[in-house]
A and B are shown apart, each in its own frame.
Chain A
Amino acid sequence: MSGRHLLLTAWAFAPARTSGVYRAIGLANAFASRGWDVTVLTAPEKTFADEGVIDASLSEQIHDRVRTVHVPFSSGLYASDVAEWSRTQARFPELWGAVRGLPFPEAGFGGWRRALARAADRVHRTTRVDLTLGTASPSVDFIPGWHLKRRHGVPNIMDYRDAWTIDVFTGGRNPRATRRSEQWESRLIDSADQVWFVNEPIRGWHAAKYPLAADRMRVVSNGFDVVDGQSPAVPMVDHVPGRPLTFGYLGTINHGQFPTEALLAGWTRARERSTELAGARLVLRGYLGRTGIADEHLEDFLRRGAAVGIAYEGPVAKAQIQDVYATFDALVLALASGPGVTSGKVFEFAATGLPVVSVHDPSSAASAVMEGSPVWSPTASMGPDDIADALIVGAERARTQTAQSRAEAISWGAQWERGHQLQSAVDGAERLLATGGGR
């Protein structure tokens, strides 16, 4: 199917490097590679450049059929250029933010609703939109789809890469959800033709909350990205006898989500119990939180970690990740615990073919991804002894992995390529249009 027009809304899109950008890029490219013209409504690049959250290499990953439309955006959360402030914003920031948030109940983003609706109208007027897709968070990204559906009957898909009124760590009610946000979510889901979620626990929680929409809900998993034709797969090189092992972690390191204390305790215990681990290093790569700088908790963790062979060696551009994975002998998948937590990193880790040691709650959705991997060593619990056990098994696998077993692991991980994951989702979207396009 070709010549169709998708309107995708993603607050952050390339070259912004905030979380969720990779899924948005993947979605745009998946439709574009099937012949769709894709228009992306996104915030202006300056929003991200001012905060230093840009990765220019991401722009090179965008398919030729994808066009971006920058929709004016201002928010108390991202208003870093004081020269652009009004007197009201400078003098009464809380009041300014509250008034701007009135159109849509989402702190920091609600004020974007009207600009998004106007932009959607303009795009639809210029080139008729056949399908809309909003990927959130922020949830205001759902507005263009809802708006064009109401006004023009354009079929509409909501894509939750996170959750809004549900806490993904527990499945319970998000304590920050308000009555108004609950009402809005209900309204949006009621109007959507399909609702996508990144894993089964999150889908299940929403299906239980909105049973009338359950048959329109499906899981559209994340995946790893192939950049410039290169997957993160790490071909086997010969072991150098006696060379200490290097464990690696690559991903954003957020205080409160990255399990610093459990990892540190487990790693320390493993070093006490294993001479192999005693000489090993754990190298952490990635951004430190959204701002790229460690808060006092992360600083403290890194300082204590340095004494036991844990080193932080800075962020990595998307285009460089394959080279960085190639410097590791094994990976440590350290994630926040919670049944709804998958993390995009799990797919990339799986794709490398390197032994992966899971340091997250066994009930994590990441376990469902890694199950079946021939080189996976999950911890049985977040206790230090169990984490040490997993690390010791991971070290042994790293020492004994052969070219054949590495190739088998790479082959197993290839199923998680993002484009492959998204194909059935695009199929489903095309079927939606083929059967009359929406409800």
Chain B
Amino acid sequence: MDIVVLAPSGRYSADALPGLAETDRVTVVSWVGAPAVEADEVLELRQSPRSARVVAVLSRSLAGRMLVRVLPLDGGARFWRASVAAGEVARRIGEADLIIAAERDGGFAAWKWMRNTSRTGAPPAVVRGYAAARARISRR
């Protein structure tokens, strides 16, 4: 099973998806500079440090997060755009059986990739959160 984890912060641990087989492959897509993660492959996306700082400050409150969402520097929208710009992400998504939006800012990219892949054939399963991912994996 090919699994792509959209985790902008890079927070991922193999313990999040127990029971994977040797032949399963996990690719984590995160912003560059995220801490090292235990995945078969990590694809790092570039972002402007200034945007990241502004978003981090505003995201400390619900009102701030709602404001950020409607601005171009929204983390979810930027993560989606950066993932489109990185050709390797599209290739991995194209091969994926399961896409996981592991964080809130990975949700929009997951949804957009689901829509894009559904136009080109059978779309992969796309879920939010590791609990849902584990439920999907257990049903394979």
Once A82-B126, A91-B69 are accepted as A-B contacts, the answer to whether A49 and B135 lie under 8 Å apart by CB is: yes
* Contact present for B15 and A50 (CB under 8 Å): no
A166: shortest Cβ distance to chain B, in Å?
Answer: 23
Interface segment, A92-100, A219-227, A334-342, A387-395?
A92-100
CB contacts (< 8 Å) of B107 on chain A: these are: 82, 85, 90, 93
Contact partner of B69 (CB less than 8 A), chosen from A52, A82, A85, A95, is: A95
Can you name the residue of chain A whose Cβ is closest to the Cβ of B113?
A: A82
Chain A residues whose C-beta falls within 8 Å of the C-beta of B85 in the assembled complex: none
Q: CA–CA, A42 to B76, complex, Å?
A: 33
Q: B89 to chain A: which residues have CB within 8 Å?
A: none
Instruction: Give the residue among A80, A82, A95, A290 with the most B Cβ atoms within 10 A.
Output: A82
Residues on B with C-beta less than 8 A from A52 are 131-132, 134-135, 138
Distance A293 CA – B138 CA, assembled complex (angstroms): 14
Residues of A within 8 A of B127 (CB): 50, 80-82
A80 & B132 in contact (Cβ 8 Å cutoff): yes
A292: interface (CB < 8 Å): yes
| B54 contacts chain A at the CB level, 8 A cutoff | no
Please tell me if the beta carbons of B69 and A294 are within 8 angstroms of each other in the complex.
Answer: no
Verify B135–A92 contact, CB threshold 8 A.
no
Query: Is there an interface contact between A91 and B76, defined as CB atoms closer than 8 Å?
Result: yes
Q: Are B114 and A294 in contact (CB under 8 A)?
A: no
Residue B128 CB within 8 A of the other chain: yes
By a CB distance below 8 angstroms, the chain A residues around B104 are 93
CA distance A290 to B111 in the complex (A): 25
Contact between A294 and B101, CB atoms less than 8 A apart: no
* Residue A237, interface by CB 8 Å: no
State A87–B16 Cα separation when bound (angstroms). Answer: 28
The answer on a CB contact under 8 Å between B135 and A94 is no
Give the tally of cross-chain contacts (CB within 8 A): 79
Are B108 and A81 in contact (CB-based, < 8 A)?
no
The complex places the Cα of A87 from the Cα of B123 at a distance, in Å, of: 17
CB of A82 within 8 A of CB of B66, answer: no
Asked if residues A83 and B126 are in contact (CB atoms below 8 Å), the reply is yes
Q: Nearest chain B CB to A240's CB is how many angstroms away? A: 34
Q: Which residues of A contact B131 (CB under 8 A)?
A: 51-53, 80, 290-293
Give the contacting residue for B134; candidates A81, A293, A299; CB below 8 A: A293
The answer to the question of B77 belonging to the interface, with a C-beta cut-off of 8 Å to chain A, is yes
Provide the A292-308 mask, 1 if CB < 8 A to any CB of B, else 0: 11100001000000000
Q: Which residue of B lies closest to A87 (CB)?
A: B111
Q: How far is the CB of A150 from chain B (nearest CB, A)?
A: 32
- The binding surface of chain B is classed by DSSP as helix
CA distance A90 to B70 in the complex (A): 12
With an 8 A cutoff between CB atoms, is A79 at the interface?
yes
Question: Which residues of chain B have C-beta atoms less than 8 A from A85's C-beta?
Answer: 107, 111
Query: How many angstroms between the C-alpha atoms of A291 and B65 in the bound complex?
Result: 25
> Is B45's beta carbon under 8 Å from chain A?
no
In the complex, which residues 115-134 of chain B have their Cβ closer than 8 Å to any Cβ of chain A?
123, 126-132, 134
B110 at the interface (CB under 8 A from A): yes
* CA A49 to CA B65, docked complex, whole Å: 30
What is the interface residue range for chain A against chain B?
A: 20 to 34
**Contact (Cβ within 8 A) B130 A293:** yes
B69 to chain A, nearest CB (A): 5
- Do the beta carbons of A50 and B69 come within 8 Å of each other? no
Known: A91-B77, A293-B15. A50 touches B70 (CB 8 A): no
* Contact residue among B66, B114, B128, B129 (Cβ-Cβ distance under 8 Å from A94): B66
CB-defined contacts of B15 to chain A, threshold 8 Å: 293-294, 299
| A292 proximity list for chain B (CB < 8 A) | 131, 134
Q: Which residues of A contact B46 (CB under 8 A)?
A: none
Q: How far is the CA of A293 from the CA of B135 in the complex (A)?
A: 12
CB of B81 within 8 A of chain A? no
Q: In whole angstroms, how far apart are the Cα atoms of A52 and B127 in the complex?
A: 12
Contact B135–A91 (Cβ < 8 Å): no
Can you name the residue of chain A whose Cβ is closest to the Cβ of B132?
A: A80
Min CB distance, A5 to chain B, in Å?
A: 35
CB–CB B16/A293 < 8 A: yes
Q: Given A293-B16, A294-B15, are A82 and B128 neighbors across the interface (CB < 8 Å)?
A: yes
Residues of B within 8 A of A293 (CB): 15-16, 18, 130-131, 134
- CB-CB < 8 A to B112: which residues of A? 90
Chain A 84-122, CB within 8 Å of chain B: the 1/0 string?
Answer: 010100111111001000000000000000000000000
Across the two chains, which residue of chain B brings its CB closest to A107?
B62
Contacts of B114 in A (CB 8 A): 82-83
Query: In the complex, are the beta carbons of A94 and B111 less than 8 A apart?
Result: no
Given the complex, which residues of A lie within 8 Å of B135, measured CB to CB?
49-52
Name B118's closest neighbour in chain A (CB-CB): A83
Q: In the complex, what residues of A have CB within 8 A of residue B130's CB?
A: 291, 293
Output the nearest chain A residue to B111 by Cβ-Cβ distance: A90
- A-to-B contact residues, CB < 8 Å: 49-53, 79-83, 85, 87, 90-95, 98, 290-294, 299
The 4 closest A-B pairs by CB, nearest first: A80-B132, A52-B135, A90-B111, A82-B126
13 A-B pairs whose Cβ atoms sit less than 8 Å apart in the complex: A51-B135, A53-B131, A81-B126, A82-B101, A85-B107, A90-B111, A90-B112, A91-B69, A92-B70, A94-B62, A94-B66, A293-B16, A293-B134
Known: A80-B128, A80-B131. 8 other contacts (CB 8 A): A49-B135, A50-B127, A52-B131, A81-B126, A81-B132, A91-B111, A93-B69, A93-B107
